[in-house]
Structure 1
Amino acid sequence: MTERVSEQRVFFALWPNAGLRASLSALARRMPANGRPVPAEHLHLTLAFPGTVTAGKVAEMVERTDALRLPQIRLVLEELGWFRRPRVAWVGPAQAEPELEALAVRLNELCRATGVAMEDRPFRPHVTLRRFVTRFESVSIEPLDWRPREMVLIESGQGGHPGPYRVLHSWVLSG
């Protein structure tokens, strides 16, 4: 049991500012889907999900990320979508920006370099707005312009178990 406490469930993400977070939360409440809206304080765009790892691996990932040059990114969140299998409704860009894709690839490689087994799936940038969705209708929305200022490493829960979010580290996207 003691070993479990030294584990952390973590992910790298772009973190919206308060204004965008309020707009995303409002969109989540009015989108044509059932399910439960994601709490405003949990809204983010995941770049890499190492999952449950030791505190030592977290420290190594932070150190390696400190050495990265983090690009400035501009996103236009303009498309609503639904992933049936995880049952989530989301908003995202119609097309991923090359800088965003490159950052996600670098972070996944960085995680692998620390010995973390990462899922091998295509990167589909999105902000999850609702969970437990079984009914979804795609409609046009007013695009949301997002110029993220920071990337964060989030701990989700405690002792490797899902739960509330806590920012462990942040980096400025400076170009």
Structure 2
Amino acid sequence: MKRLFFALWPDQNTLSACTAICKQLADCGKPVATNNLHVTLLFLGNINAQQQTELTLGAAKLRNIPTKLVLDRLEFWQKPKVLCLAPGVFDPNFLHFHTELTRIADQSGVITDSRPYRPHATLAKKARYKPDLSLKPVIWQSNGFCLAESLSTPSGVEYKILERWHDIDA
């Protein structure tokens, strides 16, 4: 079984902006590795090969992929101890797309989190506090979405993109 999630991966400008902020967070938490920066669209959990095939086939049919977020708020989430960038407001298409991905997961027998969807990019883990930083909004731009795997390695968690989809209608 693989530990999977759907996500937006950043373009180079977004990656550079987020990496610069991550460096400023080193005193209050463990910055997320540059190659792990993403916005989760839907966490799936442990998935078997059949479910992965069904998820991949369903995701390939989706269009109108929301790929742009204005991340203008640094938030400290106490319980998971993370610092993340979040949008003050976001395009309702993100909720619609999340709902579509959830429908595909349900049809594949995958039980997903029922909490309300909140798009965000985690920048630091094991955070102890929210620093007082003056941030310029980050325009998160992606050229599609992907199915990624979370891998535990001796040096920590790494994320590997398994499939990518681009919105050909965009």
Distance 2:58 2:39 in 1: 21
C-alpha displacement of 1:138: 4.9
Distance 2:108 2:26 in 1: 41
* Structure 2 unaligned blocks of 5 or more: none
Match of 1:126 in 2: 120
Q: Does 1:90 align with 2:81?
A: no
**Matched residue of 1:135: which SS?**
coil
User: Normalized against structure 1, the TM-score is what?
Assistant: 0.88
Match of 1:108 in 2: 102
Which residue identity is paired with 1:102? H
**Matched residue of 1:157: which SS?**
strand
Which residue identity is paired with 1:133? A
**Matched residue of 1:156: which SS?**
strand
More deviation in 65-74 or 149-158? 65-74
Q: Deviations over 1:66-124 (max 9, x none)?
A: 11113344311111001111111001211121111211111112111110111110111
C-alpha displacement of 1:23: 1.3
Which of 156, 168, 171 is the matching residue for 2:162? 168
Distance 2:86 2:113 in 1: 21
Q: Deviations over 1:124-158 (max 9, x none)?
A: 11000000012113544101223321201001117
Match of 1:16 in 2: 10
User: Normalized against structure 2, the TM-score is what?
Assistant: 0.90
Alignment of 1:10-159 (within 5 A): 10-31=4-25, 34-157=28-151
Q: Deviations over 1:48-73 (max 9, x none)?
A: 00111101101110001111113344
RMSD of aligned Cα (Å): 1.8
Contact 1:74–1:146 at 8 Å: present in 2 too? yes
Which residue identity is paired with 2:90? A
* Structure 1 unaligned blocks of 5 or more: 1-6
Q: How many residue pairs were aligned? A: 166
More deviation in 28-37 or 88-97? 28-37
Identity between Structure 1 and Structure 2 (%) = 29
Contact 1:32–1:138 at 8 Å: present in 2 too? no
Distance 1:35 1:137 in 2: 10
More deviation in 132-141 or 119-128? 132-141
Q: Structure 1 residues 91, 25: CA separation in 2 closer, same or farther (over 3 Å shift)?
A: same
